[in-house]
Amino acid sequence: MEKRSFQPINVLNVIRGFQHPEIPHHITPYRFETRQGEKHRIAEIRQVHRERVGKAFHYHFVVKSAEQRYFHLVFDTGPLTWNLVQEVDEELFFS
């Protein structure tokens, strides 16, 4: 993942230390904010997968916001940063 092409974001998330039914994923994002000041509350996590990149992992999330918009977010465990990869078009993603 080339960092220069993806927008950095601030994310409020929980990193789970043990299994708990109310925290569905090891890393669970709840809301995020872009540099432009847009704030989005995550209503649903649609997809999650993890991939190894060098010595780090990238956690990929496709999330649905409270405004019914879909986003692809990536958490990089190397520098511990979040990036907004793209806003996903619902018709293309779910067809």
Interval 21-76: pLDDT, tens? 999 899 999 999 999 999 999 999 999 999 999 999 999 999 999 999 999 999 99
The residue segments making up the domain with residue 21 are 3-93
pLDDT of residue 75: 97
Please state, in angstroms and rounded to a whole number, the distance separating the CA atoms of residues 4 and 62.
Answer: 20
Task: Name the band, by pLDDT with cuts 50, 70 and 90, for residue 3.
Answer: very low
Task: Name the band, by pLDDT with cuts 50, 70 and 90, for residue 90.
Answer: low
- Domain count for the chain: 1
Judge contact between 31 and 43, C-beta under 8 A: no
Please state, in angstroms and rounded to a whole number, the distance separating the CA atoms of residues 1 and 53.
Answer: 8
* pLDDT at residue 19 greater than cutoff 50: yes
Residue given tokens 């619902």 in the structure block = 90
Strands 56-65 and 39-53: antiparallel
